[in-house]
Amino acid sequence: MSTPGWPVTSINVISRVAVVPTPPLLVPELAAGAAGETAEVREACLAAVRAVASEHPRWIAVGAGPVAVEFGAGARGNFRGYGVDVPVALSAESRNPEAGLPLPALIAGWLRDRAGASSVRVSVLDQTTPTADCVSAGKRLDAEETDLGLLILGDGSYRHGPRAPGGEDERATAFDDAVAQALGTADVEALLSLDVTLAGELGAGGRVPWQVLAGLAGSARWQAELLYSGAPLGVGYHVALWERA
């Protein structure tokens, strides 16, 4: 399976990473009656991306979906497909016509605007990408030639409790506890050891981008802070900030 063709140089420049989930309910206009339940994760996401934007106004974002696709910073989209007309742009200067952006790109654009970042390019990988290919993608991303922040977009299991959209699965808690521990301590090996089959059965869409992050991090020293971990609506959400030590 091929991975995105990020250019390779010998300079490591990505030094700050925000790890965030992708629920449409992050957007207050879409949250409606659930706005209170999602307030804590929303504020954590905004704190993480604002910390990245304070050092790096231009971003790369990595998510996962049914098909691999990339979007340049000129792309625009809308949350209309989720019930509310909320436009987003991947660049403050974009004047392109709206396109059908997938959820990771919509969330990246919405967070970009709230964080005051100037632009974000989005790479959505196939959600079945093997671990080895995720690592290769991360290593290539680490060699990006310009000064950028990184946004890692993905959810944990969607099978927590009776409200879970994927139906309850008793394995979900242990899975997301392990993810939270790994993201909060920059434990690369733990992220790489996430079981692909189990992640798929639990509907954990973040497995691929988290393992891309692990590939990027490699053997370098990173400081990590877990800003949020929970499953308020039956889906595991984790927010973390990583910084190269």
Tens-binned pLDDT, residue by residue, of the chain (245 aa): 334 444 433 344 799 999 999 999 999 999 877 778 889 999 999 999 999 999 999 999 999 999 999 999 999 999 999 999 999 999 988 889 999 999 999 999 999 999 999 999 999 999 999 999 999 999 999 876 468 999 999 999 999 999 899 999 999 999 999 999 999 999 999 999 999 999 999 999 999 999 999 999 999 999 999 999 999 999 999 999 999 99
Residue 130 Cα to chain centre, angstroms: 17
Instruction: Determine whether domain 16-244 maps to CATH 3.40.830.10.
Output: yes
Q: What pTM did the predictor assign?
A: 0.93
Cα separation values, 118 from 74, 221, 234, Å? 11, 28, 33
Token readout for 24 is 């449409």
Q: Where are the domains of the chain?
A: 16-244
Whole-angstrom distance, CA of residue 1 vs CA of residue 84: 36
Question: Dmax of the chain from CA atoms?
Answer: 49
End-to-end alpha carbon distance in the chain: 32
Tell me the three state secondary structure of residue 235.
Answer: coil
Other CB atoms within 10 Å distance of the CB of residue 117: 25
Whole-angstrom distance, CA of residue 128 vs CA of residue 68: 10
Other CB atoms within 10 Å distance of the CB of residue 8: 12
Return the DSSP state at 96: P
**41 contacts 95 by C-beta, under 8 angstroms:** no
> CA Rg, the chain, in Å?
16
**148 contacts 58 by C-beta, under 8 angstroms:** yes
